[in-house]
Amino acid sequence: MKAKNAHFDPEELQLLKDFEDGNLRSIRNLETEKKELEQAARSTLQKDRRINIRISSRDLERIQLRAAREGIPYQTYISSSLHKLVAGRLTEKG
């Protein structure tokens, strides 16, 4: 690898190796691909429904503390957690 004195994380090292080995290829119609991905992201993140739930004060306080540690509003934290759960990226402890 050509980069001396550089500090790369494992993902960056893999990208550099793939580049040097010629395993990366250009995307045809980059602008079209970019627009399609942007639209998919907008559709995925669009919040178009409202719900109301009742939870215990203790649970809400714990959620608010976790959200504060993450530096985000607690409603955003709840929404993100639910999204991760239904997407299979967050699992319940059993």
Confidence band (pLDDT; 50, 70, 90) for 2?
low
Does residue 40 contact residue 33 with C-beta atoms inside 8 Å?
no
Question: What is the reported pLDDT for 47?
Answer: 77
- Does the structure show a pLDDT above 60 at 1? no
Does residue 67 contact residue 79 with C-beta atoms inside 8 Å?
no
Q: What is the pLDDT of residues 61-71, one digit of tens each?
A: 999 999 999 99
Q: How far apart are CA 71 and CA 57, in angstroms?
A: 21
How much is the pTM? 0.51
Q: Which helix (H) or strand (E) is 28 found in, with range?
A: none
Q: What is the pLDDT of residues 43-90, one digit of tens each?
A: 766 777 889 999 999 999 999 999 999 999 999 899 888 888 888 887
Helices 57-70 & 74-86 angle (0-180, nearest 10): 90
